Amino acid sequence: MNSLRPLIPLFLLLQAACSGVSDTRPEPVRKSEYYLEHGVSAFENSDYVAAADFLRKALAHYRSIDDTTGVLLSRINLAETALAAGNFKAALEQIEEAERIADGEPYHEYRPRLALLRAQTHWRAEEGEKALALLQPLLPNFESDGRSSERPTLLQLGAVTLRTAIAFARDDDERQEARLWLQRLALMLPRTEGRTALHHARLLRFEAQLAAHEEAPQTALEKFDQALQLYREGAARPAIAATLTESGKLLMQLGRWEEAAEQLQRALYIRLWIMDRPGAAELLQPLQIVYRQLGDEERLEQINSEANRLTHGR
Amino acid sequence: MSEQQQPVHYIHRMEYSVQERLVGVFLLGALAILFVLMFINSKTAHLFEDRIILNTYLTKAEGISTDTPVKISGIEVGKVASLDIAADHRIHLRLIIYQRYQPLVRSDSTAAVSKLSVLGKPVINITAGTTTEAILEDEATIEVEEPLSVDELLAELTPVIQGVESSVKRFAEIMQQIEPQQVGNIITRLDSSARHIEQISARLNSTQGTLGMAINDPAFQQRFSSAVTSIDHAFVQMEQRLQELERLSLNLGESSSEFPALTSEFKTVLNNTNALLTSVNVEMKQLPDLVTRMNVLMEQTDRLLEGINNSWLFSSDEGKLQRKLIGVQPYHE
């Protein structure tokens, strides 16, 4: 082995010589980009704490070299991360800062993205009217058969997904509006370039919700399960938590308290993992009902103290 | 019989173009330069330099090897050539000194192994001799001051630590003579006196109208009389407190008789510490340089690793992070 040691530097030098296109950009530029890319990567792994950390560093580095595009991208990513972690206030702050930049001529292309982000944030912060107003210009035109008149983009798909979620949340016994938007979404999805399994999973969840409303709980549970599988494959933490919550609530309606408790607990664990305090707090009420039904005083006590901790930050 | 043409391997039909030859020459040239650069590194930089040998003997050679550099005034002037055991069981070091530095090594030069050699990379430092002294010849012997072992280093520190400890004890003894209860009482009484004075001043402050009116006011007279009584009482109390303070200062006076001895001891401790710090200081001066070199080395390593990472053999498109914007998220809730 020792006889090979002198060859190591030679090998490394040859390696360096064989490198592809060497990056000759200045160090601050490369460092800023490094943080930005790692932030995006951490977000895609649903590691929002690490993502926020990387992206804050990216923002600071881009600001230090006065790179407006970098600052804008960092802020959009930070807003997306804050929204995913349920921190709406921080998300809105980042969006506002990003909008100031996007008002400038070279950055107009980012405006629709920011509008969608703002709409998503308002909707999660229970400001439905504001969300709808922002969504309207982002939606594609639809033909009478429910198809979009142009080839949809991912941004439009995102807008229609949110619009469908709003339609489902509205109190409508017949679910006419929900059915309409679900049909549009289902027709739009296969035509959208760049769609992922996560988009399909979201569609399945809407279908499950509709099936639950139409009193077909078994179909609903199956669709939730299919969606869950897809989300698990993509390790999409917030989506898994949302699906488990919806499925748990359906099990509550069916009086399957044990299973409901199990699903809701799993969802709670994920919400706490990603530090989504509002998301975790929303789960506590159904969990209290479930444990009361099960007469599990010990668990109920735990949930109450968790609620206290989340509400008062203790 | 017709003569059949034998098939020739295609390789024999090929001819080198000038361009191909140039590429070959360029490649071989690059490789040759690479080898030369590798060969001429810091270790072989003095390969063809004239040198002399100096001998020295140590009782222990902790950390010293044939790579250990020899320095004069911070300049690397040679290195340890070999280590072996002398007849008297001491360690015999043969030091290479490059000939151009030979005039610096005189008969009054002394060598010393760096004091912190037990903690890090050792260096043999030779003091530059005075110009009037004779230059040391090849194969001469030079005296060397040996490095401190960890035990010796600790032993050197022990008196200092003991001195500090005894000083602390003395301080503790003095502090013990001052009774906390007494001090507490004095403070309480002073506080009470202060409150009395405050009350008096408040009373004085609350007086209204001119002096003539005040004199004619029987209520004021009564209050004034009371205030004077209070002041009088306060003065009596203050006198008592002052007497107590006097007693306390006497106590302190008794203790202060030990101060000269204590000061003298403390001075010795400080002198010891100073001597130790001076010897450590020389080694520490090299620290910034070391840190700078480390920084440069780390940067170079970083670049090399980045180069390797980018190279075709190690890089993969899958691992590359090129996305700068998070994709539009399907709304999850």
* Residue B98 in domain: yes
The answer to whether the beta carbons of residues B150 and B118 sit under 8 Å apart is yes
pLDDT classification of B273: cutoffs 50, 70, 90:
confident
Nearest Cα residue to B106 out of B133, B74, B127, B75: B133
**Are B142 and B57 within one domain?**
yes
Per DSSP, B84 falls in state E
A161 touches chain B (CB under 8 A): yes
Collect all residues of chain A within an 8 Å Cβ-Cβ radius of residue B27.
Answer: none
A35-74 residues touching B, CB cutoff 8 A: 36-38, 40-41, 43-44, 73
State yes or no: pLDDT of A208 exceeds 50: yes
Which residues neighbour B325 within 8 Å (Cβ) at sequence distance 6 or greater? A40, A73, A76, A77
Which residues neighbour A217 within 8 Å (Cβ) at sequence distance 6 or greater? A211, A250, A253, A254
**Are B289 and B196 within one domain?**
no
pLDDT classification of A218: cutoffs 50, 70, 90:
very high
Residues B306, A23: C-beta atoms closer than 8 Å: yes
* Residue B5 in domain: no
The answer to whether the beta carbons of residues A144 and A180 sit under 8 Å apart is no
The answer to whether the beta carbons of residues B83 and B65 sit under 8 Å apart is yes
How far apart (Å, rounded) are the C-alpha atoms in residues A270 and A237? 7
* Amino acid at site A284: L
**Are B62 and B143 within one domain?**
yes
For residue B198, how far is the Cα from the chain centroid? 55
The answer to whether the beta carbons of residues A74 and A59 sit under 8 Å apart is yes
Collect all residues of chain A within an 8 Å Cβ-Cβ radius of residue B306.
Answer: 23
Mean pLDDT (whole number) for A194-210: 93
The answer to whether the beta carbons of residues A141 and A169 sit under 8 Å apart is no
Placement of tokens 């488990």 in the chain:
A244
The residue among B254, B288, B304 that closes a domain is B254
Q: How far is A77 from chain B (nearest CA, A)?
A: 6
Q: Which two tokens stand for residue A79?
A: 């807003």
Q: What percent of chain B has pLDDT over 70?
A: 59
Mean pLDDT (whole number) for A62-70: 95
B324 touches chain A (CB under 8 A): yes
Collect all residues of chain A within an 8 Å Cβ-Cβ radius of residue B312.
Answer: 18-20
Which residues neighbour A214 within 8 Å (Cβ) at sequence distance 6 or greater? none
A198 touches chain B (CB under 8 A): yes
Cα-Cα end-to-end distance for chain A:
58
Q: Any idea which of A146-160, B158-172, B212-226, B292-306 has the lowest mean pLDDT?
A: B212-226
**Are B98 and B195 within one domain?**
no
pLDDT value for B149: 67
Nearest Cα residue to A269 out of A241, A228, A233, A232: A241
Half-sphere exposure at residue A313, Cβ-oriented, CA atoms within 13 angstroms: 0
- Contacts of B267-274 with C-beta under 8 Å, sequence gap 24+, read B268/B163, B269/B160, B269/B163, B269/B164, B269/B167, B272/B159, B272/B160, B272/B163, B273/B160
Of the two residues B185 and B68, the one the predictor is more confident about is B68
Which residue among A12, A20, A44 sits closest to B310, beta carbon to beta carbon? A20
Q: Any idea which of B56-65, B140-149, B233-242 has the lowest mean pLDDT?
A: B233-242
Mean pLDDT (whole number) for A250-268: 95
How far apart (Å, rounded) are the C-alpha atoms in residues A45 and A236? 7
pLDDT digits over A114-133, tens only? 999 999 999 988 888 999 99
Residues B113-126 as b or e (16 or more Cβ within 10 Å = b): bbbbbbeeebbbbb
State yes or no: pLDDT of B269 exceeds 60: yes
**Are B67 and B121 within one domain?**
yes
What's the CA angle centered on B104, arms B98 and B106, to 5 degrees?
A: 115
pLDDT value for B122: 82
pTM of the model: 0.51
Nearest Cα residue to A169 out of A188, A184, A182, A158: A182
* Residue B123 in domain: yes
What's the CA angle centered on B160, arms B154 and B163, to 5 degrees?
A: 140
**Are B100 and B211 within one domain?**
no
Q: Any idea which of A259-273, B9-23, B54-68, B187-201 has the lowest mean pLDDT?
A: B187-201
pLDDT digits over B197-214, tens only? 666 555 555 544 444 445
Q: What value of ipTM does the predicted structure carry?
A: 0.77
* Residue B333 in domain: no
Q: Which domains does chain A have, with CATH numbers?
A: 196-314 (1.25.40.10)
Q: Which two tokens stand for residue B23?
A: 């590429």
pLDDT classification of A24: cutoffs 50, 70, 90:
confident
Per DSSP, B42 falls in state T
Mean pLDDT (whole number) for A65-86: 94
Chains A & B: contacts with CB separation below 8 Å: 96
User: Is B321 exposed, middle or buried (CB count within 10 Å of its CB: 0-12, 13-18, 19+)?
Assistant: middle
The answer to whether the beta carbons of residues B220 and B214 sit under 8 Å apart is yes
pLDDT classification of B251: cutoffs 50, 70, 90:
low
Query: In DSSP terms, which residues pair with B79 in a beta bridge?
Result: B69, B96
Of the two residues B66 and B282, the one the predictor is more confident about is B66
Which residue among A9, A37, A165 sits closest to B333, beta carbon to beta carbon? A165
How far apart (Å, rounded) are the C-alpha atoms in residues A300 and A270? 19
Pick the residue of A15, A27, A36, A153 with the most B CBs within 10 A to test the interface with B by mutation: A15
Residues A20, B306: C-beta atoms closer than 8 Å: no
Query: In DSSP terms, which residues pair with B82 in a beta bridge?
Result: B94
**Are B99 and B141 within one domain?**
yes
- Kindly list the distances between the CA atom of residue B311 and the CA atoms of A26, A27, B307, in Å, as whole numbers in the listed order: 19, 19, 6
Q: Any idea which of A51-60, B95-104, B190-199 has the lowest mean pLDDT?
A: B190-199
* Residue B31 in domain: no
Closest chain A CA to residue B311: A19
Q: How far is B315 from chain A (nearest CA, A)?
A: 9
Collect all residues of chain A within an 8 Å Cβ-Cβ radius of residue B324.
Answer: 33, 36-37, 40, 73
The answer to whether the beta carbons of residues A242 and B333 sit under 8 Å apart is yes
How far apart (Å, rounded) are the C-alpha atoms in residues B125 and B146? 11
Closest chain A CA to residue B41: A9
State yes or no: pLDDT of B318 exceeds 70: no
For residue B264, give its domain range: 149-177+258-314
pLDDT classification of B99: cutoffs 50, 70, 90:
confident
**Are B217 and B194 within one domain?**
yes
pLDDT classification of A307: cutoffs 50, 70, 90:
confident
Mean pLDDT (whole number) for B298-326: 63
Residues B308, A16: C-beta atoms closer than 8 Å: yes
* Residue B9 in domain: no
Q: Any idea which of B78-92, B192-206, B314-328 has the lowest mean pLDDT?
A: B192-206
Which residue among A12, A16, A38 sits closest to B321, beta carbon to beta carbon? A38
Per DSSP, B126 falls in state E
Mean pLDDT (whole number) for B308-320: 52
A124 touches chain B (CB under 8 A): yes
Q: What percent of chain B has pLDDT over 90?
A: 5
Collect all residues of chain A within an 8 Å Cβ-Cβ radius of residue B315.
Answer: 20
Residues A33, B329: C-beta atoms closer than 8 Å: no
Which residue among B34, B312, B324 sits closest to A18, beta carbon to beta carbon? B312
**Are B247 and B190 within one domain?**
yes
* Residue B40 in domain: no
**Are B192 and B222 within one domain?**
yes
pLDDT value for B132: 86
Nearest Cα residue to B74 out of B143, B133, B120, B128: B128
**Are B296 and B164 within one domain?**
yes
Number of domains in chain B: 3
Collect all residues of chain A within an 8 Å Cβ-Cβ radius of residue B325.
Answer: 40, 73, 76-77
How far apart (Å, rounded) are the C-alpha atoms in residues B141 and B93? 10
Whether the CA torsion A279, A280, A281, A287 is positive or negative: it is positive
How far apart (Å, rounded) are the C-alpha atoms in residues B126 and B71? 6
Q: Is B109 helix (H, G, I), strand (E, B) or coil?
A: coil
pLDDT value for B327: 87
The residue among B235, B254, B273 that closes a domain is B254
pLDDT classification of A274: cutoffs 50, 70, 90:
confident
pLDDT value for B319: 45
pLDDT classification of A77: cutoffs 50, 70, 90:
very high
Average pLDDT of chain B, as a whole number: 74
B310 touches chain A (CB under 8 A): yes
**Are B271 and B241 within one domain?**
no
Residues A116, B324: C-beta atoms closer than 8 Å: no
State yes or no: pLDDT of A154 exceeds 60: yes
Which residue among A10, A20, A123 sits closest to B315, beta carbon to beta carbon? A20
State yes or no: pLDDT of A37 exceeds 90: yes
The residue among B236, B254, B272 that closes a domain is B254
* Residue B7 in domain: no
Strands (E), chain B: 51-58, 69-72, 75-85, 91-98, 111-113, 124-126, 140-141, 144-145
